Amino acid sequence: MIEIEARINGNTIVSDSDIAGVQGSGKGSFLKLRFAENWGNLTKRVIFTNAKGLNPVVVVLTIDKLLENDEGKLQNYGIYVPPEALEFKGSILWIIEGVTSEGIIYYTCREEMQVLSGMSKLFADAVESQDLTPSQAAQKPPPPKSARR
pLDDT digit string, tens, across residues 47-104: 999 999 999 999 999 989 988 766 666 689 999 999 999 999 999 999 999 999 999 9
Residue 148 banded pLDDT, cuts 50, 70, 90: very low
CB within 8 Å of 74: residues ≥ 6 apart = 40, 63, 66
Q: In what order do the strands lie in the sheet with 105-116?
A: 19-22, 105-116, 90-99, 43-48, 57-60
Mean per-residue pLDDT, 126-132: 53
Task: Tell me the pLDDT tens digit for each residue of 5-48.
Answer: 999 999 999 999 999 999 988 789 999 999 999 998 899 999 99
Looking at residue 74, what is its pLDDT? 62
